[in-house]
Amino acid sequence: MKQLLLSMMALAISWNILQAQSMQSIAVGTKAPKVDVKMKDVSGKDVSIKDMMQENGVLVMFSCNTCPYVIKNQDRTKDIAAYALNKKVGVIVLNPNEAYRKGEDSYSAMQEYAKAQQYNWPYVVDQNHQVADAYGATKTPEIFLINKEGTVVYKGAIDDSPADAKKVERIHLRYAIDEMVTKKDIAVKESKSVGCTIKRL
């Protein structure tokens, strides 16, 4: 029985890795998809990416409760979200981990997590990972910055050292927000997101 369970877990991990490898991320400069899809927030309300759009755009982050990279990035996540909101850029965090809905990424667990982390922006269920699929997101955390016209202008990680905050030399997302707000060209339009594979099974 134990061997069967281990085999099933290995198969699930392999399947998620194969899905991630075959997933095509949307290109910077294209219109953001699925902005009208309503998703259940931890508050109980249904909200969409478009609903969270502010004067200068919206920051979309695919995340979860369970990934060690998400957990170690929480301070950076909260800092950049606050920065975005101060720049009149909306924030929405989506949890696409459909395979864990009955466990650590359940709706009730998301509510507890958002409360513990003092989120003051929507943290929503990406049902059947449909929005993550449309964006080609493969990791948690993974970011897409969208301008007020609805175009993706940056995607990837918060900064250049997701694994170690002490080694950060450039906060890509902060610069991208500044450049977007001031209508300058985004110097670094894309970076590598580092994290856990989205659990789509």
Global pTM reads: 0.88
Q: Which spans in the chain are helix H?
A: 2-22, 68-72, 74-86, 107-117, 130-135, 172-181
Q: Is 101 exposed, middle or buried (0-12, 13-18, 19+ CB in 10 A)?
A: middle
The verdict on residue 15 lying in a domain is: no
Amino acid letter at 29? G
For the four alpha carbons of 120, 111, 136 and 39, in that order, the dihedral sign comes to negative
The confidence score (pLDDT) of residue 156 equals 97
The verdict on residue 8 lying in a domain is: no
Q: What is the 3-state secondary structure (H, E, C) of 165-194?
A: HHHCCCCHHHHHHHHHHCCCCCCCCECCCC
The verdict on residue 125 lying in a domain is: yes
The verdict on residue 3 lying in a domain is: no
The verdict on residue 9 lying in a domain is: no
The confidence score (pLDDT) of residue 11 equals 45
Q: Give 183's contacts (C-beta < 8 A, 6+ positions apart).
A: none
Give CA–CA dist 200/163, Å, rounded: 23
Give CA–CA dist 125/56, Å, rounded: 24
The verdict on residue 11 lying in a domain is: no
State how beta strands 142-146 and 58-62 pair: antiparallel
The verdict on residue 17 lying in a domain is: no
The confidence score (pLDDT) of residue 141 equals 96
Dihedral class, residue 107 (left if φ above 0, else alpha if ψ from -120 to 50, else beta): alpha
Instruction: For helices 172-181 and 74-86, give the axis angle rounded to 10 degrees.
Output: 10
For residue 193, give the CATH number of its domain: 3.40.30.10
Give the structural domain span for 184: 24-197
How many distinct structural domains can be found in the chain?
1
Other beta carbons within 10 Å of 140: 28
pLDDT by 10-residue block (mean), the chain, 201 residues: 48 46 83 98 98 98 95 93 98 97 96 96 97 97 98 97 92 98 97 94 77
The verdict on residue 170 lying in a domain is: yes
The confidence score (pLDDT) of residue 9 equals 47
